[in-house]
Structure 1
Protein backbone atom coordinates (compact mmCIF):
# COMPACT_ATOMS: atom_id res chain seq x y z
CA UNK A 1 0.00 0.00 0.00
CA UNK A 2 1.34 3.41 -1.01
CA UNK A 3 0.65 6.02 1.67
CA UNK A 4 0.86 9.79 1.33
CA UNK A 5 1.34 12.10 4.30
CA UNK A 6 -0.87 15.19 3.81
CA UNK A 7 -0.20 18.15 6.12
CA UNK A 8 -3.21 20.45 6.54
CA UNK A 9 -2.54 23.89 8.03
CA UNK A 10 -6.01 25.51 8.26
CA UNK A 11 -9.53 24.18 8.93
CA UNK A 12 -10.73 25.05 5.44
CA UNK A 13 -7.53 24.12 3.65
CA UNK A 14 -7.97 20.40 3.10
CA UNK A 15 -6.84 18.37 0.09
CA UNK A 16 -10.24 18.66 -1.61
CA UNK A 17 -10.36 17.28 -5.12
CA UNK A 18 -6.60 16.72 -5.11
CA UNK A 19 -7.19 14.08 -2.45
CA UNK A 20 -9.91 12.51 -4.58
CA UNK A 21 -7.58 12.42 -7.59
CA UNK A 22 -4.79 10.78 -5.59
CA UNK A 23 -7.17 8.15 -4.23
CA UNK A 24 -8.42 7.45 -7.76
CA UNK A 25 -4.82 6.51 -8.56
CA UNK A 26 -4.70 4.01 -5.73
CA UNK A 27 -2.89 6.05 -3.08
CA UNK A 28 -3.90 6.09 0.58
CA UNK A 29 -3.92 9.50 2.31
CA UNK A 30 -3.03 10.15 5.94
CA UNK A 31 -4.31 13.72 6.48
CA UNK A 32 -2.83 15.31 9.61
CA UNK A 33 -4.83 18.29 10.88
CA UNK A 34 -1.74 20.06 12.17
CA UNK A 35 -3.61 23.33 12.83
CA UNK A 36 -5.77 21.51 15.36
CA UNK A 37 -2.91 20.03 17.33
CA UNK A 38 -2.65 16.64 15.66
CA UNK A 39 1.03 15.70 15.85
CA UNK A 40 3.11 15.15 12.76
CA UNK A 41 5.00 11.87 12.55
CA UNK A 42 8.58 11.91 13.74
CA UNK A 43 9.81 10.68 10.36
CA UNK A 44 8.57 9.46 7.00
CA UNK A 45 8.75 5.76 7.79
CA UNK A 46 5.56 4.29 6.37
CA UNK A 47 4.92 7.14 3.95
CA UNK A 48 5.99 7.17 0.32
CA UNK A 49 5.18 10.84 -0.42
CA UNK A 50 4.42 14.17 1.24
CA UNK A 51 1.79 16.73 0.23
CA UNK A 52 2.15 19.98 2.20
CA UNK A 53 -0.95 22.16 1.81
CA UNK A 54 -1.45 25.92 2.05
CA UNK A 55 -2.06 28.33 4.92
CA UNK A 56 -1.64 31.95 5.88
CA UNK A 57 1.80 31.65 7.44
CA UNK A 58 5.37 32.26 6.52
CA UNK A 59 7.29 28.97 6.44
CA UNK A 60 9.23 29.86 9.63
CA UNK A 61 6.28 31.30 11.64
CA UNK A 62 6.85 28.82 14.46
CA UNK A 63 5.30 30.98 17.18
CA UNK A 64 1.99 31.16 15.31
CA UNK A 65 2.16 27.66 13.87
CA UNK A 66 4.40 25.43 16.00
CA UNK A 67 3.93 22.44 13.69
CA UNK A 68 5.92 24.16 10.96
CA UNK A 69 9.25 23.23 12.56
CA UNK A 70 8.55 19.46 12.47
CA UNK A 71 7.00 20.01 9.03
CA UNK A 72 10.24 21.53 7.78
CA UNK A 73 12.13 18.56 9.22
CA UNK A 74 9.93 16.11 7.33
CA UNK A 75 10.36 17.98 4.03
CA UNK A 76 14.12 18.08 4.62
CA UNK A 77 14.07 14.33 5.22
CA UNK A 78 12.14 13.84 1.99
CA UNK A 79 14.68 15.89 0.04
CA UNK A 80 17.52 13.86 1.52
CA UNK A 81 15.96 10.44 1.01
CA UNK A 82 14.19 10.79 -2.33
CA UNK A 83 10.60 10.76 -1.06
CA UNK A 84 8.36 12.66 -3.53
CA UNK A 85 7.01 16.02 -2.33
CA UNK A 86 4.24 18.26 -3.61
CA UNK A 87 4.10 21.62 -1.84
CA UNK A 88 1.09 23.88 -2.41
CA UNK A 89 1.13 27.63 -1.61
CA UNK A 90 2.61 27.65 1.93
CA UNK A 91 3.90 24.17 1.15
CA UNK A 92 5.75 25.48 -1.90
CA UNK A 93 7.21 28.33 0.12
CA UNK A 94 8.31 25.92 2.85
CA UNK A 95 9.93 23.66 0.25
CA UNK A 96 11.80 26.61 -1.22
CA UNK A 97 12.83 27.79 2.25
CA UNK A 98 14.27 24.48 3.47
CA UNK A 99 16.10 23.96 0.15
CA UNK A 100 17.87 27.33 0.41
CA UNK A 101 15.52 29.76 -1.32
CA UNK A 102 14.01 33.02 -0.05
CA UNK A 103 10.39 33.82 0.83
CA UNK A 104 9.14 37.34 1.58
CA UNK A 105 5.93 38.33 3.34
CA UNK A 106 3.40 40.50 1.48
CA UNK A 107 5.70 40.85 -1.49
CA UNK A 108 4.43 42.31 -4.74
CA UNK A 109 0.78 42.56 -5.70
CA UNK A 110 -1.66 40.06 -4.18
CA UNK A 111 -3.33 37.40 -6.31
CA UNK A 112 -6.82 35.96 -5.80
CA UNK A 113 -9.06 33.78 -7.88
CA UNK A 114 -8.40 32.26 -11.30
CA UNK A 115 -5.04 33.67 -12.40
CA UNK A 116 -3.29 33.38 -15.79
CA UNK A 117 -0.06 31.39 -15.64
CA UNK A 118 2.65 30.91 -18.25
CA UNK A 119 4.78 27.79 -18.38
CA UNK A 120 8.47 28.45 -18.92
CA UNK A 121 10.67 26.58 -21.36
CA UNK A 122 11.94 24.34 -18.55
CA UNK A 123 8.43 22.94 -18.11
CA UNK A 124 8.63 21.13 -21.45
CA UNK A 125 11.07 18.65 -19.94
CA UNK A 126 9.44 18.29 -16.54
CA UNK A 127 7.71 15.10 -15.46
CA UNK A 128 4.60 16.88 -14.12
CA UNK A 129 4.32 19.87 -16.46
CA UNK A 130 5.35 18.56 -19.87
CA UNK A 131 2.74 18.93 -22.61
CA UNK A 132 0.39 20.98 -20.46
CA UNK A 133 -0.91 24.16 -22.18
CA UNK A 134 1.68 26.91 -22.17
CA UNK A 135 -0.96 29.42 -21.09
CA UNK A 136 -3.38 28.22 -18.43
CA UNK A 137 -5.18 29.33 -15.29
CA UNK A 138 -5.08 28.34 -11.64
CA UNK A 139 -6.81 29.56 -8.49
CA UNK A 140 -4.59 31.72 -6.31
CA UNK A 141 -4.95 33.21 -2.83
CA UNK A 142 -1.60 34.79 -2.11
CA UNK A 143 0.17 37.80 -0.63
CA UNK A 144 3.56 36.25 0.24
CA UNK A 145 5.98 35.14 -2.46
CA UNK A 146 9.07 33.13 -3.21
CA UNK A 147 11.60 35.72 -4.30
CA UNK A 148 14.64 33.50 -4.85
CA UNK A 149 14.62 29.86 -5.85
CA UNK A 150 16.87 27.29 -4.17
CA UNK A 151 20.21 26.67 -5.89
CA UNK A 152 19.77 24.42 -8.89
CA UNK A 153 15.97 24.47 -8.82
CA UNK A 154 14.07 24.26 -12.11
CA UNK A 155 11.80 27.28 -12.62
CA UNK A 156 8.65 25.98 -14.32
CA UNK A 157 5.86 28.60 -14.32
CA UNK A 158 5.21 32.26 -13.63
CA UNK A 159 2.44 34.86 -13.48
CA UNK A 160 2.38 38.60 -13.98
CA UNK A 161 2.44 39.45 -10.28
CA UNK A 162 4.35 36.46 -8.92
CA UNK A 163 7.31 35.22 -10.97
CA UNK A 164 7.73 31.91 -9.13
CA UNK A 165 4.51 29.96 -9.59
CA UNK A 166 5.99 26.48 -9.95
CA UNK A 167 9.41 24.90 -9.53
CA UNK A 168 11.17 21.61 -8.95
CA UNK A 169 13.90 20.91 -6.41
CA UNK A 170 16.21 18.08 -7.34
CA UNK A 171 14.64 14.99 -8.83
CA UNK A 172 11.46 14.48 -6.85
CA UNK A 173 10.09 17.61 -5.14
CA UNK A 174 7.70 20.15 -6.69
CA UNK A 175 6.27 23.38 -5.37
CA UNK A 176 3.28 25.25 -6.80
CA UNK A 177 2.23 28.65 -5.51
CA UNK A 178 -1.30 28.14 -6.84
CA UNK A 179 -4.05 25.81 -5.58
CA UNK A 180 -4.78 22.84 -7.87
CA UNK A 181 -7.19 21.53 -5.23
CA UNK A 182 -9.35 24.67 -5.22
CA UNK A 183 -12.63 25.21 -7.09
CA UNK A 184 -14.96 28.21 -7.60
CA UNK A 185 -16.76 27.02 -4.48
CA UNK A 186 -13.67 27.81 -2.43
CA UNK A 187 -13.53 31.31 -3.89
CA UNK A 188 -17.17 31.93 -2.95
CA UNK A 189 -16.35 31.17 0.71
CA UNK A 190 -13.44 33.57 1.06
CA UNK A 191 -13.69 36.74 3.15
CA UNK A 192 -15.47 39.28 0.93
CA UNK A 193 -14.28 42.32 2.88
CA UNK A 194 -10.66 41.16 2.89
CA UNK A 195 -10.81 40.64 -0.87
CA UNK A 196 -12.28 44.12 -1.34
CA UNK A 197 -9.43 45.65 0.65
CA UNK A 198 -7.01 43.96 -1.72
CA UNK A 199 -8.84 45.37 -4.72
CA UNK A 200 -10.85 42.30 -5.73
CA UNK A 201 -14.58 41.86 -6.29
CA UNK A 202 -15.61 38.43 -5.02
CA UNK A 203 -18.52 38.00 -7.43
CA UNK A 204 -16.23 38.70 -10.35
CA UNK A 205 -13.64 36.27 -8.99
CA UNK A 206 -16.25 33.51 -8.72
CA UNK A 207 -17.53 34.18 -12.25
CA UNK A 208 -14.02 34.07 -13.72
CA UNK A 209 -13.17 30.89 -11.81
CA UNK A 210 -16.34 29.21 -13.12
CA UNK A 211 -15.49 30.28 -16.67
CA UNK A 212 -11.97 28.88 -16.42
CA UNK A 213 -12.90 25.75 -14.49
CA UNK A 214 -13.17 23.14 -17.29
CA UNK A 215 -9.73 23.80 -18.78
CA UNK A 216 -7.95 24.31 -15.46
CA UNK A 217 -9.51 21.18 -13.96
CA UNK A 218 -8.27 19.09 -16.89
CA UNK A 219 -4.72 20.46 -16.55
CA UNK A 220 -4.39 20.06 -12.79
CA UNK A 221 -6.04 16.64 -12.75
CA UNK A 222 -3.42 15.50 -15.23
CA UNK A 223 -0.61 17.02 -13.16
CA UNK A 224 -1.83 15.23 -10.02
CA UNK A 225 -2.22 11.97 -11.96
CA UNK A 226 1.41 12.23 -13.07
CA UNK A 227 2.54 12.93 -9.51
CA UNK A 228 0.62 9.87 -8.29
CA UNK A 229 2.23 7.72 -10.99
CA UNK A 230 5.66 8.97 -9.95
CA UNK A 231 4.88 8.20 -6.30
CA UNK A 232 3.81 4.65 -7.14
CA UNK A 233 6.90 4.13 -9.27
CA UNK A 234 9.31 5.32 -6.61
CA UNK A 235 7.50 3.26 -3.96
CA UNK A 236 7.47 0.03 -5.95
CA UNK A 237 10.92 0.03 -7.56
CA UNK A 238 14.24 -0.32 -5.73
CA UNK A 239 15.69 3.13 -5.16
CA UNK A 240 18.93 2.27 -6.95
CA UNK A 241 16.99 1.25 -10.08
CA UNK A 242 15.12 4.52 -10.39
CA UNK A 243 16.24 7.32 -12.63
CA UNK A 244 13.63 9.59 -11.00
CA UNK A 245 15.12 12.79 -12.37
CA UNK A 246 11.85 14.69 -12.80
CA UNK A 247 12.20 14.82 -16.59
CA UNK A 248 9.50 13.99 -19.06
CA UNK A 249 11.32 11.12 -20.73
CA UNK A 250 10.88 9.02 -17.57
CA UNK A 251 7.17 9.77 -17.30
CA UNK A 252 4.16 8.02 -18.69
CA UNK A 253 2.16 9.95 -21.28
Structure 2
Protein backbone atom coordinates (compact mmCIF):
# COMPACT_ATOMS: atom_id res chain seq x y z
CA UNK A 1 0.00 0.00 0.00
CA UNK A 2 1.13 3.59 -0.55
CA UNK A 3 2.35 5.09 2.73
CA UNK A 4 0.93 8.31 4.19
CA UNK A 5 3.99 10.43 3.37
CA UNK A 6 3.95 9.33 -0.28
CA UNK A 7 0.22 10.04 -0.58
CA UNK A 8 0.64 13.48 1.01
CA UNK A 9 3.53 14.33 -1.33
CA UNK A 10 1.42 13.40 -4.36
CA UNK A 11 -1.54 15.45 -3.17
CA UNK A 12 0.41 18.75 -3.24
CA UNK A 13 0.99 18.89 -7.00
CA UNK A 14 -1.25 18.85 -10.05
CA UNK A 15 -0.97 15.31 -11.44
CA UNK A 16 -0.22 14.67 -15.10
CA UNK A 17 -3.17 12.27 -15.30
CA UNK A 18 -6.12 11.96 -12.97
CA UNK A 19 -9.20 9.75 -12.90
CA UNK A 20 -11.85 11.07 -10.53
CA UNK A 21 -14.79 8.72 -9.82
CA UNK A 22 -14.84 7.49 -13.42
CA UNK A 23 -17.78 5.37 -14.56
CA UNK A 24 -17.91 3.85 -18.04
CA UNK A 25 -21.03 2.06 -19.26
CA UNK A 26 -21.64 0.32 -22.56
CA UNK A 27 -25.11 -0.31 -24.04
CA UNK A 28 -26.70 2.11 -21.57
CA UNK A 29 -28.53 3.80 -24.45
CA UNK A 30 -29.97 0.54 -25.86
CA UNK A 31 -32.75 -1.02 -23.74
CA UNK A 32 -32.58 -4.25 -25.77
CA UNK A 33 -29.05 -4.99 -24.50
CA UNK A 34 -27.56 -5.68 -21.10
CA UNK A 35 -25.68 -2.71 -19.68
CA UNK A 36 -21.96 -3.43 -19.27
CA UNK A 37 -20.19 -1.62 -16.44
CA UNK A 38 -16.67 -1.54 -17.90
CA UNK A 39 -15.26 0.81 -15.23
CA UNK A 40 -17.03 1.59 -11.99
CA UNK A 41 -16.05 4.71 -10.04
CA UNK A 42 -12.27 4.47 -10.46
CA UNK A 43 -10.10 7.19 -8.92
CA UNK A 44 -6.32 7.62 -9.03
CA UNK A 45 -3.55 10.10 -9.89
CA UNK A 46 -0.33 9.76 -11.88
CA UNK A 47 2.48 12.24 -11.26
CA UNK A 48 5.02 13.60 -13.72
CA UNK A 49 7.80 11.14 -14.63
CA UNK A 50 6.07 8.23 -12.89
CA UNK A 51 5.91 4.78 -14.46
CA UNK A 52 2.57 3.38 -13.32
CA UNK A 53 1.07 0.03 -14.29
CA UNK A 54 -2.62 -0.81 -14.37
CA UNK A 55 -2.58 -4.48 -13.46
CA UNK A 56 -5.52 -6.82 -13.58
CA UNK A 57 -7.24 -9.73 -15.32
CA UNK A 58 -8.91 -9.51 -18.73
CA UNK A 59 -12.22 -7.69 -18.57
CA UNK A 60 -11.46 -5.55 -15.50
CA UNK A 61 -11.53 -2.23 -17.38
CA UNK A 62 -7.85 -1.35 -17.54
CA UNK A 63 -7.73 -0.96 -21.33
CA UNK A 64 -10.98 1.03 -21.22
CA UNK A 65 -9.37 3.45 -18.76
CA UNK A 66 -6.30 3.80 -20.97
CA UNK A 67 -8.51 4.56 -24.00
CA UNK A 68 -10.35 7.21 -21.99
CA UNK A 69 -7.02 8.84 -21.07
CA UNK A 70 -6.06 8.69 -24.75
CA UNK A 71 -9.27 10.47 -25.73
CA UNK A 72 -10.36 7.50 -27.87
CA UNK A 73 -13.58 7.06 -25.88
CA UNK A 74 -15.43 9.11 -23.27
CA UNK A 75 -16.39 8.24 -19.72
CA UNK A 76 -20.07 8.07 -18.78
CA UNK A 77 -19.58 9.88 -15.47
CA UNK A 78 -16.70 11.35 -13.49
CA UNK A 79 -13.67 13.36 -14.60
CA UNK A 80 -10.54 12.41 -16.54
CA UNK A 81 -7.86 15.10 -16.55
CA UNK A 82 -4.53 15.81 -18.23
CA UNK A 83 -2.51 18.37 -16.25
CA UNK A 84 -5.70 19.53 -14.59
CA UNK A 85 -7.72 19.95 -17.80
CA UNK A 86 -10.52 17.66 -19.03
CA UNK A 87 -9.55 15.15 -21.72
CA UNK A 88 -11.97 15.42 -24.63
CA UNK A 89 -10.02 14.19 -27.66
CA UNK A 90 -6.73 12.53 -28.70
CA UNK A 91 -3.55 14.63 -28.49
CA UNK A 92 0.12 14.21 -29.31
CA UNK A 93 0.74 15.06 -25.65
CA UNK A 94 -0.53 11.53 -24.92
CA UNK A 95 0.89 8.99 -27.37
CA UNK A 96 -0.45 5.42 -27.48
CA UNK A 97 1.51 2.21 -28.03
CA UNK A 98 -0.85 -0.69 -28.75
CA UNK A 99 -0.35 -4.44 -28.33
CA UNK A 100 -0.76 -4.94 -32.06
CA UNK A 101 1.78 -2.97 -33.97
CA UNK A 102 -0.59 -1.02 -36.25
CA UNK A 103 2.18 -0.17 -38.70
CA UNK A 104 1.41 0.90 -42.25
CA UNK A 105 2.60 -2.03 -44.40
CA UNK A 106 3.35 0.26 -47.37
CA UNK A 107 5.62 2.53 -45.31
CA UNK A 108 9.25 1.92 -44.39
CA UNK A 109 10.49 2.03 -40.80
CA UNK A 110 11.56 5.64 -41.28
CA UNK A 111 8.24 6.61 -42.83
CA UNK A 112 6.21 4.82 -40.13
CA UNK A 113 8.14 6.53 -37.33
CA UNK A 114 7.78 9.91 -39.02
CA UNK A 115 4.02 9.53 -39.53
CA UNK A 116 2.91 11.46 -36.43
CA UNK A 117 5.34 14.26 -37.25
CA UNK A 118 3.96 14.38 -40.78
CA UNK A 119 0.40 14.68 -39.45
CA UNK A 120 1.39 17.59 -37.19
CA UNK A 121 3.05 19.52 -40.02
CA UNK A 122 6.75 19.13 -39.24
CA UNK A 123 9.05 19.95 -42.19
CA UNK A 124 10.37 16.94 -44.10
CA UNK A 125 14.00 17.41 -43.05
CA UNK A 126 13.00 17.69 -39.39
CA UNK A 127 10.79 14.59 -39.66
CA UNK A 128 13.64 12.56 -41.11
CA UNK A 129 16.14 13.75 -38.50
CA UNK A 130 13.85 13.11 -35.54
CA UNK A 131 12.66 9.75 -36.86
CA UNK A 132 16.27 8.63 -37.36
CA UNK A 133 17.09 9.66 -33.78
CA UNK A 134 14.36 7.49 -32.29
CA UNK A 135 15.01 4.60 -34.64
CA UNK A 136 18.55 4.53 -33.29
CA UNK A 137 17.27 4.88 -29.71
CA UNK A 138 15.13 1.73 -30.02
CA UNK A 139 18.00 -0.23 -31.59
CA UNK A 140 16.87 -0.30 -35.24
CA UNK A 141 19.64 1.71 -36.89
CA UNK A 142 20.25 0.12 -40.29
CA UNK A 143 16.59 -0.85 -40.77
CA UNK A 144 15.32 2.59 -41.80
CA UNK A 145 14.29 1.41 -45.29
CA UNK A 146 12.82 -1.93 -44.21
CA UNK A 147 9.10 -2.62 -44.50
CA UNK A 148 7.07 -4.18 -41.65
CA UNK A 149 6.90 -7.56 -43.46
CA UNK A 150 10.69 -7.68 -43.32
CA UNK A 151 10.82 -7.18 -39.53
CA UNK A 152 10.24 -9.58 -36.65
CA UNK A 153 7.44 -8.98 -34.14
CA UNK A 154 9.85 -7.47 -31.64
CA UNK A 155 11.32 -5.17 -34.27
CA UNK A 156 7.85 -4.04 -35.34
CA UNK A 157 7.01 -3.19 -31.74
CA UNK A 158 10.22 -1.15 -31.56
CA UNK A 159 8.99 0.79 -34.59
CA UNK A 160 5.69 1.42 -32.81
CA UNK A 161 7.54 2.66 -29.72
CA UNK A 162 9.81 4.91 -31.80
CA UNK A 163 6.76 6.36 -33.58
CA UNK A 164 5.20 7.26 -30.23
CA UNK A 165 8.42 8.77 -28.88
CA UNK A 166 9.09 10.79 -32.02
CA UNK A 167 6.22 13.22 -31.35
CA UNK A 168 7.81 13.93 -27.94
CA UNK A 169 4.70 13.29 -25.84
CA UNK A 170 4.44 14.13 -22.16
CA UNK A 171 2.72 10.78 -21.54
CA UNK A 172 3.09 7.32 -23.06
CA UNK A 173 -0.04 5.18 -22.82
CA UNK A 174 0.98 1.57 -23.38
CA UNK A 175 -1.71 -1.09 -23.83
CA UNK A 176 -0.10 -4.49 -23.17
CA UNK A 177 2.54 -3.59 -25.78
CA UNK A 178 4.52 -6.82 -25.35
CA UNK A 179 1.57 -9.18 -25.01
CA UNK A 180 1.83 -10.52 -28.57
CA UNK A 181 5.55 -11.31 -28.31
CA UNK A 182 7.23 -14.58 -27.38
CA UNK A 183 8.70 -14.81 -23.88
CA UNK A 184 12.31 -14.15 -24.87
CA UNK A 185 11.48 -11.18 -27.10
CA UNK A 186 9.16 -9.81 -24.43
CA UNK A 187 11.98 -9.87 -21.90
CA UNK A 188 14.29 -8.07 -24.32
CA UNK A 189 11.64 -5.39 -24.96
CA UNK A 190 11.06 -4.89 -21.23
CA UNK A 191 14.77 -4.24 -20.79
CA UNK A 192 14.80 -1.88 -23.78
CA UNK A 193 11.83 0.05 -22.41
CA UNK A 194 13.57 0.44 -19.05
CA UNK A 195 16.71 1.66 -20.80
CA UNK A 196 14.80 4.17 -22.93
CA UNK A 197 12.71 5.38 -19.98
CA UNK A 198 15.87 6.08 -17.97
CA UNK A 199 16.97 8.55 -20.67
CA UNK A 200 14.06 11.01 -20.52
CA UNK A 201 11.65 9.73 -17.83
CA UNK A 202 8.41 10.08 -19.76
CA UNK A 203 5.28 9.66 -17.68
CA UNK A 204 4.01 6.17 -18.54
CA UNK A 205 0.69 4.46 -17.91
CA UNK A 206 1.27 0.79 -18.74
CA UNK A 207 -1.54 -1.77 -18.98
CA UNK A 208 -0.63 -5.38 -18.23
CA UNK A 209 -2.05 -8.57 -16.72
CA UNK A 210 1.47 -9.84 -15.88
CA UNK A 211 2.51 -9.33 -12.23
CA UNK A 212 6.23 -9.82 -12.87
CA UNK A 213 6.18 -7.32 -15.75
CA UNK A 214 4.46 -4.73 -13.56
CA UNK A 215 6.97 -5.24 -10.72
CA UNK A 216 9.95 -5.07 -13.07
CA UNK A 217 8.90 -1.88 -14.85
CA UNK A 218 6.84 0.24 -12.49
CA UNK A 219 7.27 2.82 -9.76
CA UNK A 220 3.72 2.09 -8.69
CA UNK A 221 1.13 -0.58 -9.47
CA UNK A 222 -2.62 -0.01 -9.43
CA UNK A 223 -4.25 -3.41 -8.99
CA UNK A 224 -7.71 -3.54 -10.58
CA UNK A 225 -10.47 -5.99 -9.84
CA UNK A 226 -13.83 -7.11 -11.23
CA UNK A 227 -17.35 -6.52 -9.97
CA UNK A 228 -16.92 -3.63 -9.50
CA UNK A 229 -14.19 -2.79 -12.02
CA UNK A 230 -12.00 -0.29 -10.22
CA UNK A 231 -8.69 0.06 -8.39
CA UNK A 232 -8.52 -2.31 -5.42
CA UNK A 233 -5.01 -1.67 -4.23
CA UNK A 234 -1.99 0.56 -4.77
CA UNK A 235 1.52 -0.89 -4.48
CA UNK A 236 4.69 1.21 -4.33
CA UNK A 237 7.49 -0.79 -5.96
CA UNK A 238 10.62 -0.54 -3.75
CA UNK A 239 13.41 -1.56 -6.13
CA UNK A 240 16.14 0.93 -7.03
CA UNK A 241 16.71 2.04 -10.61
CA UNK A 242 18.19 1.30 -13.05
CA UNK A 243 16.80 -2.24 -12.83
CA UNK A 244 17.94 -3.90 -16.04
CA UNK A 245 20.79 -6.32 -15.57
CA UNK A 246 20.24 -6.68 -11.81
CA UNK A 247 18.08 -9.84 -11.67
CA UNK A 248 15.60 -8.26 -9.28
CA UNK A 249 13.19 -11.12 -10.04
CA UNK A 250 15.38 -13.28 -7.79
CA UNK A 251 15.21 -10.97 -4.77
CA UNK A 252 13.18 -12.11 -1.78
CA UNK A 253 11.14 -8.88 -1.77
CA UNK A 254 10.22 -9.33 -5.45
CA UNK A 255 9.03 -12.87 -4.75
CA UNK A 256 7.07 -11.72 -1.69
CA UNK A 257 5.35 -8.88 -3.57
CA UNK A 258 4.54 -11.14 -6.51
CA UNK A 259 2.89 -13.67 -4.19
CA UNK A 260 1.07 -10.91 -2.27
CA UNK A 261 -0.36 -9.32 -5.44
CA UNK A 262 -1.27 -12.74 -6.81
CA UNK A 263 -3.26 -13.47 -3.66
CA UNK A 264 -5.07 -10.14 -4.03
CA UNK A 265 -6.01 -10.95 -7.62
CA UNK A 266 -7.03 -14.53 -6.81
CA UNK A 267 -9.53 -13.25 -4.27
CA UNK A 268 -11.33 -11.29 -6.99
CA UNK A 269 -14.53 -12.66 -8.57
CA UNK A 270 -14.17 -13.82 -12.15
CA UNK A 271 -15.59 -11.47 -14.76
CA UNK A 272 -18.12 -13.37 -16.82
CA UNK A 273 -16.93 -11.53 -19.95
CA UNK A 274 -13.24 -12.30 -19.37
TM-score by length of 2: 0.30
TM-score by length of 1: 0.32
Greater radius of gyration (CA): 2
Greater relative CO (CA pairs within 8 A, separation 6+): 2
